[in-house]
Structure 1
Amino acid sequence: MVPTTTTIRDELAMYLSQKGMSINQFSGQSGINSGTLSRILNDQQPIAMDHLVRITKAMELPEDHFYSLYVEECFYHSSPTWRRLRPFLVHSAALGRLDCVEQVVQNLLENLIYAPMLFEVAEGLFQEGLWEAAELLYKNVSVSEKYQNSERLAICQFRLFRIALGDDQTKNLQAALLFECYLDRLDEADQLDGLNHLINVYYSLHKWKKVDDLAQELFQLASLRYDLHHNSKRTQNSPKNPEKPLYRYILYSHLMRASVYEEQKDYKTAQKFVSLYMDSSWIREDDENAKRTVAQYQEWGNANTILYRLMLGQHEALLEYVELISLQNDEIFVALFNIVIAANLFNWNIDHILERFAAYLPYRTNLDEFGEYHQQIIADQYARFLSELAAYYLHNKRREGIIFVLQSLALSARINNETNIFKCVDLFEQHRHLTDEEEKEQYKLLIREVQDSHDKKIHQASSFL
């Protein structure tokens, strides 16, 4: 980075000259002591972050107007000090000036003593939701510590894993694979959260063996910590607490293991794990949060017990299931998904149910409202739900199924769900005779998008390897 010839001092001096203002007058306008201003203008005092904010505001300029010049101010026109650079990093992140964040980080990491300080800022930005800036810091700190077997490096990788997760299942898999080798280096509290997020990713990817293995690991670690917390008189080594109460990780491990066996159509084993997460007799906490959690798992257990009967073809369970879930608005989508699957399996007519819950077709609930359900799992289930719904309508020779095929194909392409893409293509081609020209054109565009995504995926995979 080569410094420019113009400085913030030059800009300020030019402003005072153009406005015909004295230092005393600008002091009153900016709230900066006149002596301090004089020393700044005469290059006898560095410009603090607070001074920069006041100068910029007094000159009626955008807040980040001098940010690029301030990087130079900190590294070329004065000695870099953390007291100035830390608030500048935070302000730059808040205003989306990632270019300034990058420049500061690159300059600072020439001296590895700054790595722990940058990590601390990254953690603050992560908690504030400023993930793009935090990602920059975590990546750079990781590079500086790549030869260290440190917990800080592992936390950086954990945060980068969290930040990388999105709709694209291929990218999610890559992020999970990169993070997994750092899992054991984390503090046990972070391990619990890491396992929780990995389970959700692999569940959305339908990697059931992996989900089952990770759920068992989650159960063992959470149970151990829970017993130590309640039975040990010794102070625990870890000062950290996981994101959720320990009992929730134990319950969630049972829930996910039940879900794995449900997906594999082993309903007898699934029911065994339903019984485990419905049993709250061992939970010692008695606060409102614990009571809500226990009630939630009881609801899921009751619903899933009926669901397994449904999936075994017991038609009499359908009415029970519908009436139960009708009282739980945030569960209706998942229940409808299961009902449509059962209808397609056993050739049931569920028109009356779809009409009753028409408000959920198309599904319009915010994905963030699903509590324990992870957004990636819901996005995956929604894509599959649309294809199952399409199959139901098309089996009954109703052309509105084509609309759901196209919706499912569009979402499946966006999240890279190849299995569902193939299903949608098969459904469309089987029922092409029901489509109009506009739908055929939309289908053609979606197939082109799928092909482009596939080519990109191959390129990403080769780069990853």
Structure 2
Amino acid sequence: MEPTPTIRSKIETELKQRGYTFSSFSKISGINRGTFSTMLNSNPPKPISVRQMDLITQALGYPEGWLYELYIDECFYEGKGHWKRIKPFLLRCVELGRKDCIQKVLWRLTEDLSYVPTIFELGEELYSEGREKEAIPFYECVIENEKYRHSERLAISQYKRFKACTMSDLEKSLELVLEFTPYRNLLPEHYQLEAIHKITNIYFYLHKWDEVEKYGHELKKLANVIYMDRQIRKGKRRADHCSRAERHLVFYYGYGFLSVSTALQKKGYIKEAKAELEGYADLSWFKGLDLEGEADVEQFRLWAKANSYTLDLLLGNRDILPEYIAFLENHPEEVSSGLITILESANKYNFDVDSIIDKYSERIKRLQESEDVKQMTYYYCYMYQLAIYHYRRGRILKGQKNTLNYLSLSKQRNWFKPPVSMENLQDHMQLD
């Protein structure tokens, strides 16, 4: 039975096959002859650094990462982890996308749980450099091995893994929401704000309006507590505990009201939604606004205007339709959501909006090519309301065409579930 190859035996074999001496190889690799000799011949041999391993690999003409699987043993010489070798190796594996080696190193490291804080720090280092996805394996390692289930370190790891997920996979996002949510209150407040904002967004795209309402209330409550605390402590020598939040505090405060108002609207509580709308329509009273905060205030003012039209239409006030169309012309970014409202209102109160549909049909069709979850959601909801509109006006073939288009796109995009119920469509298909 042949002995298991080691990193040194593989290097020695390469040198012999190519006729290199220590002296000749040191010249082409850039590694000192004496250093190279002690790495292979000393007893015990001198450890090889990952930089030296890369120089050897380059000199022998192999691709980057050659023998990295065997180099893992070099990181745990005599069975003990050596962080001065492990950290550069892990960072190099991150650069090369060697997730297999990263997982093997982390698995061996966590045989000693005292390394968990060190692993967390490396994840934080990568995260702070903007390499959020690359940091995930390190946060997951902390999640699996943290001894203290109520530690801030565990909560932050859960949060940053959750935050790195994309909206493109809503099923996976929901799984992460459910796993992360119990940890949200263990986070520092500046992380809590963005965490609740992201939770609310995911539930919004899944059309889970009870959850949107719940976390909207939670967001505005937390933002208000932080705001009041700031005002009480204003002028005192104390670091602003929310200064590192991703967005201005006024954004989270307004977004809480916006979320609750939207959820109430979707659940059919239009008058209650109007009351919540007042909470974000004018936030100019908010103290401590900078340029970013002022921009947020203006954005919420615009959203409130658009949503005020929405709620009036849903209450049956069709007289505002010309004014609403003029608003949409001046704010084209609101057209997608606006057309859904117009169709929903037309379906509810049975009035004709054919000219509006014709005017914007080409613009709406372009949404089906979008990869953005928000735009995709708009398109699906538009097709749903348009199918109902055609059915109610006796245009059965057009309604069926829109229904099939809706279902086809849902399947193509592997949507977690249709964003609106098909039961109502089936009912409308029976209409004369």
Q: Shorter-chain TM-score: what band?
A: 0.7 to 0.9
Is 1:181 matched with 2:185? no
Partner of 1:339: 342
Where does 1:138-177 land on structure 2 (aligned, <5 Å)?
A: 138-163=139-164, 166-167=167-168, 169-177=170-178
Deviations 1:15-55 (A, max 9, x none): 33333334344333333333322222325321112112222
Q: Is the 8 A contact 2:387 2:425 kept in 1?
A: no
Offset at residue 421 of structure 1 (A):
5.5
Where does 1:394-409 land on structure 2 (aligned, <5 Å)?
A: 394-396=391-393, 397=395, 399-409=397-407
Offset at residue 378 of structure 1 (A):
5.2
Is 1:36 matched with 2:39? no
Q: Is the 8 A contact 1:406 1:424 kept in 2?
A: no
Is 1:325 matched with 2:322? no
Q: Is the 8 A contact 1:192 1:242 kept in 2?
A: yes
Is 1:389 matched with 2:390? no
Where does 1:414-429 land on structure 2 (aligned, <5 Å)?
A: 414-417=414-417, 420=420, 422-423=422-423, 426=426
Q: Is the 8 A contact 1:267 1:308 kept in 2?
A: yes
Offset at residue 403 of structure 1 (A):
4.3
Where does 1:230-245 land on structure 2 (aligned, <5 Å)?
A: 230-232=231-233, 233-236=236-239, 238=241, 241-245=244-248
Identity in percent? 32
- Within the candidate set 296, 304, 310, 1:307 is matched to 310
Tell me: CA distance 1:188–1:383, structure 2 relative to 1, closer, same or farther (3 Å).
same
Partner of 1:439: none
Q: Find the aligned partners of 1:240 and 1:116 in 2 and give their Cα distance.
A: 25
Deviations 1:175-228 (A, max 9, x none): 323222212211111111221122222333333333223222211221222233
Equivalent AA in structure 2 for residue 426 of structure 1: Q
Offset at residue 62 of structure 1 (A):
1.7
Q: Find the aligned partners of 2:66 and 2:168 in 1 and give their Cα distance.
A: 35
Q: Find the aligned partners of 2:7 and 2:245 in 1 and give their Cα distance.
A: 45
Q: Find the aligned partners of 1:182 and 1:264 in 2 and give their Cα distance.
A: 28
Deviations 1:157-182 (A, max 9, x none): 22333345645555444432322221
Q: Is the 8 A contact 1:49 1:88 kept in 2?
A: yes
Is there any run of 5+ residues in structure 1 with no aligned partner, and where? 369-374, 432-465
Where does 1:164-243 land on structure 2 (aligned, <5 Å)?
A: 166-167=167-168, 169-232=170-233, 233-236=236-239, 238=241, 241-243=244-246
Tell me: CA distance 1:281–1:35, structure 2 relative to 1, closer, same or farther (3 Å).
same
Equivalent AA in structure 2 for residue 404 of structure 1: N
Equivalent AA in structure 2 for residue 82 of structure 1: W
Q: Find the aligned partners of 1:404 and 1:110 in 2 and give their Cα distance.
A: 57
- Within the candidate set 255, 269, 275, 2:258 is matched to 255
- Within the candidate set 276, 283, 293, 1:290 is matched to 293
TM-score (norm 1): 0.80
Q: Find the aligned partners of 2:365 and 2:59 in 1 and give their Cα distance.
A: 54
Partner of 1:349: 352
Q: Is the 8 A contact 2:257 2:279 kept in 1?
A: yes
Q: Find the aligned partners of 2:240 and 2:297 in 1 and give their Cα distance.
A: 29
Count of aligned positions: 422
Is there any run of 5+ residues in structure 2 with no aligned partner, and where? none
Offset at residue 79 of structure 1 (A):
4.6
Where does 1:263-274 land on structure 2 (aligned, <5 Å)?
A: 263-274=266-277
Tell me: CA distance 1:429–1:282, structure 2 relative to 1, closer, same or farther (3 Å).
closer
Look up the SS of the partner of 1:361 in the other structure.
helix
Tell me: CA distance 1:84–1:279, structure 2 relative to 1, closer, same or farther (3 Å).
same
Offset at residue 152 of structure 1 (A):
0.8
Is 1:85 matched with 2:89? no
Q: Is the 8 A contact 2:368 2:379 kept in 1?
A: no
Q: Find the aligned partners of 1:206 and 1:129 in 2 and give their Cα distance.
A: 31
Q: Is the 8 A contact 1:7 1:73 kept in 2?
A: no
Query: Bigger shift: 155-164 or 331-340?
Result: 155-164
Offset at residue 106 of structure 1 (A):
0.7
Offset at residue 99 of structure 1 (A):
1.3
Deviations 1:71-128 (A, max 9, x none): 1222256753112211222222333322111110110001111101111222344456
Equivalent AA in structure 2 for residue 138 of structure 1: Y
Partner of 1:26: 25
Q: Find the aligned partners of 2:35 and 2:354 in 1 and give their Cα distance.
A: 77
Q: Find the aligned partners of 2:425 and 2:318 in 1 and give their Cα distance.
A: 30
Query: Bigger shift: 75-84 or 64-73?
Result: 75-84
Equivalent AA in structure 1 for residue 271 of structure 2: K
Equivalent AA in structure 1 for residue 353 of structure 2: I
Tell me: CA distance 1:120–1:427, structure 2 relative to 1, closer, same or farther (3 Å).
farther
Tell me: CA distance 1:213–1:294, structure 2 relative to 1, closer, same or farther (3 Å).
same
Equivalent AA in structure 1 for residue 98 of structure 2: R
Tell me: CA distance 1:6–1:229, structure 2 relative to 1, closer, same or farther (3 Å).
same
Q: Find the aligned partners of 1:169 and 1:9 in 2 and give their Cα distance.
A: 47
Q: Is the 8 A contact 2:132 2:164 kept in 1?
A: yes
Q: Find the aligned partners of 1:20 and 1:181 in 2 and give their Cα distance.
A: 62
Q: Is the 8 A contact 2:57 2:66 kept in 1?
A: yes
